[in-house]
Amino acid sequence: MSASGRQTDGMVNKGFIVNRPDAGAPGRGGRTFIVTGLHRSGTSLVASVLRQVGIFMGTEINDLVHEDEGIAKILMARDFASLTRLIRERDAAYGTWGFKFPMLAKPLKPADLARFSDPHIIVPFRDPVSIAVRKSLSEYQDSMRALRIAVEEQAAMVAFVEQLRCPSLLLSYEKSLVFPGDFIDAILQFCGLPRSDALRDRLVGLIEPNRQDYIAQVRRNYGGVIDGVSEGFLHGWCCLTAVVEPVALQLFVDDRPVLAFRADLFRQDLLDAGFGTGHHGFAIDLGKLQVRPDAVIRIRVAEQEIELDHSGRRLADYGG
């Protein structure tokens, strides 16, 4: 290749940044590879690559999104005592291991990563418009609102990465589709993993946009029910699968909107059943609303035509 050809090749944008490059080989405790980023940004792709090369990524793995639900529960609850025990156990059992957790900046601060042995962070980024459209399709969100949130969360993710003192690899999901081999090479090199042509070809095969099995199952569903009336309060719960944030709801009395609220009360039964952190309950003080016993009660997801189970009954039918 001519000198000009080499210079031109060096100018090609392949879409990755290595921030705070690694200083050397891993220490005795091995390494911890943490995959994070915005939801729908390509974290599942990166986690699948690490699993394929033999890195232990958890015990309660969701094979669709390659996320360890066990460590996710610990992080969402900010249970640092359990996190410390888990880190010690996995360091002892595996040395080098990893996990995927989107939006890591919500439960952890940059300084908290010192709890892990030689942490290495991998963060894929994706076009915010693409993320917004996927959330609109899968999570019932308004497209423009989803876009605004994606842009804000992306800025927060960049700020989080800039504060890290450990090595981090920033990847472009869009560039992975154009330069799949270079995308795989960047991950293998950053992780210090051996490379072979056969392995590279196999991992490149994981890069498949619009996978039908993924699209078919990432549609999230609302679950929730009006349980009944107790001591003057209307009780129930609602959540969106795989989403920690509380759901915004509206109470209708005889088809008139009378109250906007969030399902954010903690209920141990919801936590035990695997619904997020358990903070998805509600209790509405009926005394303040002066609702007639024969009034028809409906609770809907805000800005949606989705009603909770047992909605549409007369107040007297809920007991109490």
∠ CA 27-33-114 to the nearest 5 degrees?
A: 65
Q: Where are the domains of the chain?
A: 12-217, 222-318
- Out of 3.30.465.10, 3.40.50.300, 3.40.640.10, 3.40.50.20, which CATH number does the structure's domain 12-217 have? 3.40.50.300
Cα 210 to its chain centre, rounded Å, is: 18
pLDDT digits (tens, 9 = 90+) for 168-222: 999 999 999 999 999 999 999 999 998 899 999 999 998 987 666 555 555 667 8
Where do we find the tokens 């199952």?
A: 217
- Give the neighbor-by-neighbor strand order of the sheet with 247-253: 256-263, 247-253, 296-301, 313-314
Cα distance between residue 314 and residue 297, in whole Å: 6
Cβ 74 vs Cβ 130: under 8 Å: no
In sign, the C-alpha dihedral spanning 242, 285, 232, 256 is negative
Rounded distance, CA 317 to CA 319, Å? Answer: 5
- Cα-based torsion angle of the residue sequence 207, 210, 211, 215 in order, rounded to the nearest 10 degrees: 140
Which residues, listed in sequence order, are joined to residue 265 by a DSSP beta bridge? Answer: 281
Domain 222-318 part of CATH 2.60.40: yes
pLDDT digits (tens, 9 = 90+) for 108-151: 999 999 999 999 999 999 999 999 988 787 777 788 988 999 99
